[in-house]
Structure 1
Amino acid sequence: MRGPFSFQTEQVGNFRVSAIARNGCLGHNRSQTLRGPMLDTAARKLIDPPLNAIGRNLAGRGVTADGVTLAGLALGLLAAFCIAVGWPLVALVPLLASRIADGLDGAVARASKTTDFGGYLDIACDFLFYGAIPFAFVLMDSANNAIAGAFLLMSFYFNGTSFLGYAILAEKRDMETSAQGIKSLYFSNGLLEGTETIVFFVLLCLFPASFAMLAWIFGTLCFATATLRIVAARRVFTTKED
């Protein structure tokens, strides 16, 4: 994003709500983001420069952002298949490749053409991927993983709903944030985000016998993330619009 930025902060529980005012050709916009002990913002500073360079190269070769998104989904589903048939270590290769593709699609879009549909497709594919991996571990060992897997998927459902609901209200108020890169949807931060989830999935693949224990822990943290987001949303969205 271009233009000068100014910041105002307000404490909301364990989160800091930041208001980002952007003045430029699009006028004055106000953005509020939730900041907790997450990794995505820090990771963005490291991965965005190389991803943007690769994205420009791919866009110059005629590769489309939607194509990269679908390729990433295919790799993610391949990883889920490998897990389901009992090859969790093999699954690491397509799993990590799918997440690289997930970062590249936005870079390709920024280097060529960004569309609302592209953002919609990206989030839909992400949610399918995030559900497919736990489901694959349940298929791999239903006797030991079913209950913990169901709890984990329920926590993903709750967390995803709180995230998308926040994005809808943020769009209604013309709020914007670039804390995790330029996105088609408003990304409210939380205790757990994409980076933490990928680390969690990698741990599951490395230690599949510990799936149940890890799922209970991560699922509990997802519930905490969603609950804190709702608390922060109540503070942000019960005020009158500017």
Structure 2
Amino acid sequence: MFDSILRRRIDPPVERLAARFVAWGVGANTVTVAGLGIGLLGAVAIASGAVLLGLFLLLASRLCDGLDGAIAKKTQPTDLGGYLDIVFDFVFYGAIPLAFAVLDPASNAVPAAVLLLTFYANGASFLAYAILAEKRRITTDVRGRKAFFFTTGLAEASETIIAFCLFCLFPAWFPVIAYGFAAMTAWTFAARVWLAVRTFG
């Protein structure tokens, strides 16, 4: 929902930083892998109780997630790069709710499981739509040039990061925030299925 708005503000500084990384000879895939590693360290920090450190690391991970694409555009985008980017995103998105479940299983395990279910369903609807869009040569640049067809929704990357930040800033409220964001994600899943019915049916 907020991705297209935030891109206009975030892209210019990220593009400038990407130009420096290209000058230093740092490749996009290297940044993608580093982003996943930093994000998983953030999850470990959260699970260990160092929630604010986890917040810093997850934000650094998401900076890498934006940076790798900008680097790829300035060099040579590859299918492998697009594959690693989306797969590692899903690993990261699953790791943070899991970390909060480990941090406080009694309070957080069920809300985290519900959120992960909606992530799973939403991710499947996203990737399946992208495959059929490619098959039918349907294209869009609403999220910039991407390796996959990006369908919009109520819960996108920006909203996910906002929810994760709220988890870290207000860990005692994790169940409430998780259920609320799970509802947004489920709505996005349902809307995407309806879009598929209208597009492919």
Query: Normalising TM by the smaller chain, what interval?
Result: over 0.9
Structural mapping, 1:160-239, within 5 Å: 160-238=123-201
Q: Distance in 2 between matches of 1:52 and 1:181?
A: 13
Give the C-alpha shift of residue 48 in structure 1. 1.3
Q: Deviations over 1:50-69 (max 9, x none)?
A: 21121122112110000000
Shift of 1:187: 0.6
Alpha-carbon distance in 2 for matches of 1:106, 1:175: 21
Encode CA deviations 1:171-228: one digit per residue, 9 max, x unaligned. Answer: 1111221111211111110011000000000000000011111111111111111001
Q: Which runs of 5+ in 2 are unaligned?
A: none
More strand by share: 1
Distance in 2 between the 1:235 and 1:62 partners? 45
Deviation of the 1:70 alpha carbon: 0.6
Unmatched tracts of structure 1, length 5 or more: 1-37
- In the TM superposition, 1:118-197 aligns within 5 A as 118-197=81-160
Cα distance between partner residues in 2 of 1:206 and 1:146? 18
- The structure having more radius of gyration, on CA atoms, is 1
CA distance in 2, matches of 1:57, 1:89: 29
What letter is aligned with 2:177?
L
1:61 aligned to which of 24, 42, 46 = 24
One-letter identity of the residue aligned with 1:114 = P
Amino acid aligned to 1:225: T
State the TM-score, normalizing by the size of structure 2. 0.98
Counterpart-to-counterpart distance in 2, 1:172 and 1:136: 37
Aligned length: 201
Tell me the C-alpha RMSD between the 2 structures: 0.8
CA distance in 2, matches of 1:216, 1:85: 23
Residue of structure 2 equivalent to 1:30: none
Deviations 1:38-59 (A, max 9, x none): 1001111111122112112211
Deviation of the 1:137 alpha carbon: 0.2
Q: Which amino acid letter does the alignment assign opposite residue 61 of structure 2? A: S
Whose helix proportion is higher, 1 or 2?
Answer: 2
Deviations along 1:107-162, whole A, 9 cap, x unmatched?
Answer: 00011111011000000110000000000000000011111111010010001011
Cα deviation, residue 166, structure 1: 0.7
Aligned to 1:40: 3
Matches of 2:147 and 2:176, distance apart in 1: 35
Identity %: 50
Other-structure match for 2:13: 50
So what's the TM-score if we normalise by structure 1?
Answer: 0.82
Q: Deviations over 1:17-56 (max 9, x none)?
A: xxxxxxxxxxxxxxxxxxxxx1001111111122112112
Structure 1 position 237, deviation (Å) = 1.2
